[in-house]
A and B are shown apart, each in its own frame.
Chain A
Amino acid sequence: MERLEVKSPKLEVLSQKEMVLFKPTGSWLAKTVREAEPLCLALSQKSLPKHLVFDLSELETYDTAGVWLLQRTMQDLEYKGHRIELRSESRAFKTLSSRLSPYKPAFEKIHKPYSFFEERLIELGIISVNLFFLTCDLVVFLGQVATGLFSTLLHPSRLRLISIVYHIERFGVNAIPIVSLLALSLGLVLAYQGEEQLRRFGAEIYTINLVSISIFREVGVLITAILVAGRTGSSITAQIGIMKINQEVDALNTLGLSPMDVLIIPRIIALILVLPLLTFVANIAGLVGGGIMVIFSLDVSPQLYMHRINEAVTLGSFWVGFLKAPLFGAIIGLVSCFEGMRVKGTAESIGICTTRSVVEGIFLVTIVDALLSIFFSKVGV
Chain B
Amino acid sequence: MTKVSPIISIRNLKIQFGEEIVHEGLDLDISPGEIFGIVGGSGSGKSVLMNAVLGLLSPLEGTITVLGEKIGSLEQITKLHLQSHWGVLFQGGALFSSLTVGENIQIPLKEMEHVSDEFAREMAFIKLKMVGLKEEDFFKYPAELSGGMVKRAGLARALAVDPEILFLDEPTAGLDPISASAFDDLILTLRNNLNLTVIMVTHDLDSIRRLCDRIAVLVDKKAIVGTLEALLDNKHPWVREYFHGVRGKAALAGFKE
A34-B114, A64-B162, A69-B119 as given contacts; A348 in contact with B81, CB under 8 Å = no
- Name the distance in Å between B191's Cβ and chain A's nearest Cβ: 13
Q: How far is the CB of A25 from chain B (nearest CB, A)?
A: 19
CB distance from A179 to the nearest CB of B (A): 35
Interface assignment of A371: CB less than 8 Å from any CB of chain B: no
| Alpha-carbon separation in the docked complex, A30 to B141 (Å) | 25
Which B residues are in CB contact (< 8 Å) with A72? 122
Q: Which chain A residues (311-367) contact chain B, with CB distance < 8 Å?
A: 344-348
Contacts of B116 in A (CB 8 A): 37
Which chain B residues (87-104) contact chain A, with CB distance < 8 Å?
A: 97-98
| Complex contact B68–A33 (CB within 8 A) | no
- In the complex, A193→B109 CA distance in Å? 60
Contact digits for A21-41, partner B, Cβ 8 Å, 1 yes 0 no = 000000001110110010000
Q: Which residue of A lies closest to B135 (CB)?
A: A105
Q: How far is the CB of A26 from chain B (nearest CB, A)?
A: 16
- How far is the CB of A343 from the nearest CB of chain B, in Å? 11
Query: Contact check: which of B125, B139, B143 meets A103 at CB < 8 Å?
Result: B125
The stretch that binds B, out of A92-100, A279-287, A288-296, is: A92-100
A346 and B194 form a contact (CB under 8 A): no
The answer, yes or no, to whether B229 is at the interface (CB within 8 Å) is no
Q: What residues on A are CB-neighbors of B142 within 8 Å? A: 345-346
The interface residues of chain A lying within 8 Å CB-to-CB of B205 are none
A65 vs B114: C-alpha distance when bound (angstroms):
13
Q: Is the interface of B mostly helix, strand, loop or mixed?
A: helix
Q: Which residue of A lies closest to B162 (CB)?
A: A63
Per a CB cutoff under 8 Å, which of A95, A110, A345 touches B193? A95
In chain A, positions 34-72 with a C-beta closer than 8 Å to chain B are 34, 37, 63-65, 68-69, 72
List chain A residues, Cβ under 8 A from B119: 33, 37, 69
A34 touches B193 (CB 8 A): no
Specify which of B81, B97, B114, B121 is in contact with A105 (CB 8 Å cutoff).
B121
Which A residue's beta carbon lies closest to that of B136? A110
A356 CB to nearest B CB, Å: 16
A162 at the interface (CB under 8 A from B): no
List 7 A-B pairs, Cβ < 8 Å. Answer: A3-B68, A30-B115, A30-B161, A63-B162, A72-B122, A105-B125, A344-B143
Contacts beyond the supplied A31-B161, A65-B161, A345-B143: 17 A-B pairs with Cβ under 8 Å: A1-B69, A2-B68, A3-B164, A30-B161, A34-B114, A63-B162, A64-B123, A64-B130, A68-B122, A102-B129, A103-B125, A103-B129, A105-B121, A110-B139, A346-B143, A347-B98, A348-B97
Q: 10 smallest A-B Cβ distances: which pairs?
A: A345-B143, A63-B162, A348-B98, A346-B97, A105-B125, A30-B162, A30-B161, A1-B68, A33-B115, A347-B97
